[in-house]
Amino acid sequence: MLTINHYKDFDLVYGTEIQEQLPSSIQSTKEEIPTRVINNNHIHQFVYCKLCNKPCCIYSKYTLDEEEKIDLQLLIDNIVYNCGSPLIPEEHVFFDKVFIKQKITCRSPVEACYFSCKRIPTTIICFYCGEKDGLLVPEEELSNNLSFLRNM
């Protein structure tokens, strides 16, 4: 039987002062995503958290061909995704090509890029909870003015 002794004996450490090293704020907020990828023009797909049902944006700087789009959709269809989880396993061909924010949680609001995405159709949802039911409906005149502004 193999035993690994990676802990110190209790008698040696009892009563000693402990110094915990916490990551700096720069390290704790750093995403493992290349610069300039988090952008509404780089959204290729959405994946929905199984716990909170909020959409999470899938980003890539690269243009995905039809086969890659199908592969990405198959990957999404065959996983159970939760906010903050990695999407792509290290051994997958998309590992350095497709990214998702991992510093978000179910308590985080919906990503702002979701609302400004033009590549993929989105639905109107609550920024805080992601629900699409029970939202206030804007007056028709206000909606028309907003559509006019979007087309500018």
Residue 18 within any structural domain of the chain: no
Residue 142 within any structural domain of the chain: no
> What pTM did the predictor assign?
0.70
Q: Could you tell me the CA-to-CA distances from 25 to 22, 28, 30, 101 in Å, in that order?
A: 9, 5, 9, 17
| Total domains, the chain | 1
Residue 11 within any structural domain of the chain: no
pLDDT tens for 112-148 read 999 999 889 999 899 999 998 887 776 777 666 665 5
The per-residue pLDDT for 1 is 46
List 58's β-bridge partners, or say none: 45, 100
Structural domain harbouring 84: 32-133
Residue 42 within any structural domain of the chain: yes
Residue 146 within any structural domain of the chain: no
Angstrom distance (rounded) from CA 108 to CA 64: 28
The per-residue pLDDT for 3 is 53
Ranges under pLDDT 50 in the chain: 1, 25-27, 29
The per-residue pLDDT for 116 is 92
